[in-house]
Structure 1
C-alpha cells in the first residue's frame, strides 16, 4: 500500500485536481549562445570551468548545484562562472545537452 492509497483511505471524499497531480518543475532559461566548457589547472589540480550563461544568476547557481550533486564533486559559483573540481568536461557536456543547452568545448 503506497502513500496515495493510504491518503485515499483517510480522506475518501477528496478528489485529486490537476494542480496536485502534476509536480511543478523549475524551468531554467535556455539561451541561443553555447556555454563554454574549459579545462584548467590551478595550483596543480584540474578544474572544469563553465562560462557564457546569459540568464539570471539564480538559474546558473541552481545549475551549478545540480551538476555538483550529479557528479558528486565539489565546486563553486564565482564571477558568472561555475568551477567544478576535476576534469569532468565530457560528463558535464552530456548532462547539459540532455537539458537542452548548447555546449562548446574549449581548449583540447
Structure 2
C-alpha cells in the first residue's frame, strides 16, 4: 500500500491533485549520435565484454550497466566511464542496446 492509498483511507472526502513534479518510474536514458563501442577482451584467461564511448551523464550509464547486468544475469562493474560485463555477451548486449535506440559498433572479432 503506497502513500496515496493510505491518505485516501484516512481522508476519503479529499480529492488528490496531480502534481507536475511526480517522479516517473520510466526515466529515459539520453541517446547519443555516436555509437557505443562494444568490444571483447580476455583478462586473466576469462572473457569480458566492454562498453565504452557514452557521452551522457555517468548516472545514466550506471543505470544502463545495472539494467544490462540484470537482464543477462551476470556480474560486472562500471569503472572509468566503461561498463565491464563478465563473459562474452556482445550479440545479446548489442541487441538490447539497439532495441533501446542506441547505435552500437562491434570492435574485435
Structure 1 position 98, deviation (Å): 0.5
Structure 1 position 57, deviation (Å): 0.5
Structure 1 position 84, deviation (Å): 0.1
Q: Distance in 1 between matches of 2:83 and 2:15?
A: 44
RMSD in angstroms over aligned alpha carbons?
2.4
Count of aligned positions: 105
Structure 1: unaligned runs, 5 residues or longer: 1-10
| Divergent runs of 4+, >6 A | 11-19
Q: Which string of whole-angstrom CA distances, capped at 9 and with x for unpartnered residues, describes residues 60-108 of structure 1?
A: 0000000000000000000000000000000000000000000000011
2:82 maps to: 81
Q: Distance in 1 between matches of 2:67 and 2:14?
A: 35
Normalised to the residue count of structure 1, the TM-score between the two structures is 0.81
Q: Distance in 2 between matches of 1:17 and 1:36?
A: 45
Normalised to the residue count of structure 2, the TM-score between the two structures is 0.80
- 2:99 is the alignment partner of 1:103: no
Change (3 A) 1:79 1:16: same
2:33 maps to: 32
Change (3 A) 1:17 1:98: farther
